[in-house]
Structures are given as C-alpha cells and as structure tokens.
Chain A
C-alpha cells in the first residue's frame, strides 16, 4: 500500500491564481481531511469528509473548496490564492470518523503564494 499520497510536493503561485492540491489514499478509508501547518500554530483543520459525497468545514475553511466524489480522492482547491495561504498542507485519512481512530498523514505540500 502507498498509504496517503499528496501531489505536488512543492508549488509556487502568484496571488489570484487557482490550483488544486491532490490527495489519494489506497486504504479504503472513509474519513479524509486537510490540515495546514504554520509556524507556531500547529495544525489547523481546513475541511474534512466522512465519506464519498459528504464534506464539512473545519476550523479555517475560507478560501478553500473540497469535494469527495470517490472514497480514494479528496482534492483541495484554492480558489484565488493569497499570501496568507502560504503554508504546508497535509492530507490525512482514517478508517472512519469516531472514537479511537488514528490518522494517517501524507508527506505534505509546501505552498508559497507570492
């Protein structure tokens, strides 16, 4: 199993550009989520999904869209990139949401918005 795969690993955008961060998992996990990691702020939840066709907002959803058309994929879209979205983005999944489920993380996407 590859686990959780994120692409690209690095990306530089100009303000106002849009892009999609890809996330795929091959573990048949129902729960998938996106976090951003900023220095001194830990990881903050952007959006999450408890199954195909179901998504919900996390702590910092503004400026981001998600969809979940398949169990395997959970792309994160930046609609109009802003310098404040410069961060490291992590996708994570677990078998299901609920008690005692640990998250499996991808290796991250480092995004810079100029």
Chain B
C-alpha cells in the first residue's frame, strides 16, 4: 500500500497564482521529500524536510510538515507555465532503507 497520498490529484491554475499540494502519510518517517516529473521524464528532487523541521523554503517553494497530523504541503508561489508537471511526495522510513512515493498531483499552469 502507498505510504503517501496526495491531494488534489489534479490542479489547474493561471500563471501568477499560487499552487498548493498536500501529502498525507501513515507511519513515522525520517524525512519527507518532494519531487517533480515533467511528462515523459524521470523525477527530479525539489526539496527535503526532516522530521524535526516544520517549514522549509527554496526559491518559490515552501514546504511544511506536521508530524502530529502526518501531513505535508508544498506551496509554489507565483506559478509559471514551466511549472506544469506532476509533483510527488516521498517519505523515508525510519531505517533509511527506502523512499516511498505518493500517487502525485498533476499541476497545470495556464499562460
């Protein structure tokens, strides 16, 4: 079974708007990571937040983590058409041996 579940499954916004994607997971984790996948390509790492962190920023990305609710959110501010992609959350188990991915959110940014 999947560790992470993402919400929404699909999101369509206009350029310049903010995009928020959510991820929930079931078991305790070392860290949570967000990846991006452009159509037909491999995944690319965006940002990592450790279990003892609550918020992290990287450029236009802001990630929050609430371990009590077992949830995370990814905010992309001032979106661009080039942000159109699928976004996946992934959780690392406590032993550090594996990274488990959610089903992804398909983001479409309309010019």
Q: Which residues of A contact B (CB under 8 A)?
A: 4, 33, 35, 40-45, 48, 50, 56, 58-59, 90, 92, 97-108
Contacts and interface: CB of A to CB of B under 8 A. Distances in A.
B96 A99 contact: yes
Contact of B98 (A45, A102, A106): A45
Nearest to A50: B97
Query: Counting chain B CB atoms within 10 Å of each CB, which of A42, A92, A99, A104 scores highest?
Result: A42
A69 B26 CA distance: 35
Contacts of B100: 45, 59
Nearest to A35: B101
Contacts of A59: 100
A105 B102 contact: no
23 contacts: A35-B101, A40-B103, A41-B103, A42-B4, A42-B101, A42-B104, A43-B101, A48-B97, A56-B97, A58-B98, A90-B42, A98-B30, A99-B92, A100-B50, A101-B96, A102-B45, A102-B48, A103-B35, A103-B43, A103-B90, A103-B99, A106-B42, A107-B42
A108 B50 CA distance: 28
B25 interface: no
Nearest to B5: A42
Given A44-B101, A97-B97, 4 more contacts: A41-B103, A92-B42, A100-B30, A108-B40
Contacts, number: 67
Interface of B: 2, 4, 30-31, 33, 35, 40-45, 48, 50, 88, 90, 92, 96-104
**The 9 nearest A-B residue pairs measured at CB:** A105-B42, A98-B96, A42-B103, A102-B45, A43-B101, A105-B43, A42-B101, A99-B30, A107-B42
